[in-house]
Amino acid sequence: MLAIYKKEVRSALCGMIGCVMIAVMLALLGFFTSVENIANGGPRFEVALYDAVVLFVFVIIMPFFTMRTLAEEKRTKTEQLLLSLPVSMKKIVFAKYLAVMTIVGIPMAVVALYPLVLKLFDSVGAVNLATSYSAWFSLVLMLAAMAAMGMFASSLVENQIIAALISVGMYFALYFTPTLAAIFPPSPPASLAALIIASVVLGTIVLAVTKNSTAACIATGVPAAACIIVYVADRSLFSGLFGKILASLSFFQLYGDGAMLGLFDLTAVVYYVSLAALFLFFTMMNMERRRYV
C-alpha cells in the first residue's frame, strides 16, 4: 500500500499535470482572496472560498487531479500488474485516493495560511479565524468527496479525458439539484414515480459495478417496495418529497449555507464523508470485479 501511495505521489509531482494544477489552484484561490480580502477590504476569508466554489473553480480543477488515477493504468496496460499484486483492492484504492488527497492537500495547506496573514494585518479585529477555518475545513471535506467521485469515474473508462468529463458531469448534476428541485412537480404521484426510477438507477449502478444480479435486485426492489407501501399508507408524505431530496443533495449549496453563515455544519461533514465512502466503495467493487474477469 505504501509503495502504491509513493508511486502515485511521485508520478503526480514529477509530471506536468500535477504541478500545473497545484499552481493553477493556488493562483485562483490567491486571486479570489486578493480581490475579496485585499482589494475590497472584506474581512471574511470564507467569502473568498465561497466565490471560488460558486464560479466552478473546483468543478473544473478536481477532474485533473483524479482523471489519471485508474484510467492511466488501463491506457498503459499496467492494470493487470496492479490487479495481480498480493494486496487487497481496498488498500490499492485507498492508497491511490490518499495520494490524490495529498496532492490536493498541498495547495490547501498553503491556503490555510491566508487567514493568519490577514489576521496579522488586521488592526480592528475583524478577521474571525474560527469561521475562516471552519469554511476551509468544510472545503477540504467537499474536495475529498469530489476526489472519490473522480476516482470512480476514472475506474470506469480508459481515456483520461472521458473520465474527466464524467466527473464534471457528476459535479454539475449535484450543483444544479436545487434548481431541479424547484421545478419538479410537488404532487405525490410524481414523487413516487421519481423515487421508483431512482431505485432502478441505483440497481443499474450496483449491477454495473458488482455484476451481481441479486444485489442489483435488492438495491432496486427494497427501496421501491418501501416507497409503494408508505405511499399506500399515507400518500400525503410524498407531497414535494422528491424535490426536498434533490435539494438536500447539493454539496455546493450545503457548503455555501455553512460558509456564508460562519457555521460549522455537522450535516455537511456527515454528507461529505458518506459520499466519499460511497464512491470509494463503488470504485473498489468495480476494480474487484475487473480483477477476476
**pLDDT for the residue numbered 292:** 62
pTM of the predicted structure, to 2 decimals: 0.86
Look at residue 293 and tell me whether its pLDDT is greater than 70: no
Q: At what angle do helices 266-291 and 89-111 cross, to 10 degrees?
A: 140
Look at residue 147 and tell me whether its pLDDT is greater than 90: yes
**pLDDT for the residue numbered 205:** 82
Lowest mean pLDDT among 19-33, 69-83, 100-114: 69-83
The model's pLDDT over 213-226, given as tens digits with 9 standing for 90+, comes to 888 899 899 999 99
Q: Is 87 left (phi over 0), alpha (psi -120 to 50) or beta?
A: beta
**pLDDT for the residue numbered 102:** 93
Domain ranges of the chain: 2-176+250-291, 181-249
Look at residue 181 and tell me whether its pLDDT is greater than 90: no
CA angle, 138 as apex, 117 and 267 as ends, to 5°? 150
Greater pLDDT, 106 or 3: 106
Contact assessment for residue 2 and residue 95, using Cβ atoms and an 8 Å cutoff: yes
Q: What mean pLDDT comes out for the span 93-115?
A: 91
pLDDT band at 242 (very low <50, low <70, confident <90, very high): confident
The model's pLDDT over 191-200, given as tens digits with 9 standing for 90+, comes to 899 999 989 9
Contact assessment for residue 191 and residue 242, using Cβ atoms and an 8 Å cutoff: yes
**pLDDT for the residue numbered 133:** 87
180: its cell numbers: 431541479
Euclidean distance between CA atoms 200 and 289, whole angstroms: 21
How many other β-carbons are positioned within 10 Å of the β-carbon of residue 242? 24
Q: Could you tell me which of 94, 90, 101 has the C-alpha nearest to residue 147?
A: 101
Q: Could you tell me which of 111, 181, 114, 119 has the C-alpha nearest to residue 143?
A: 111
Q: What mean pLDDT, rounded, does the chain reach?
A: 84
Lowest mean pLDDT among 19-23, 107-111, 180-184: 180-184
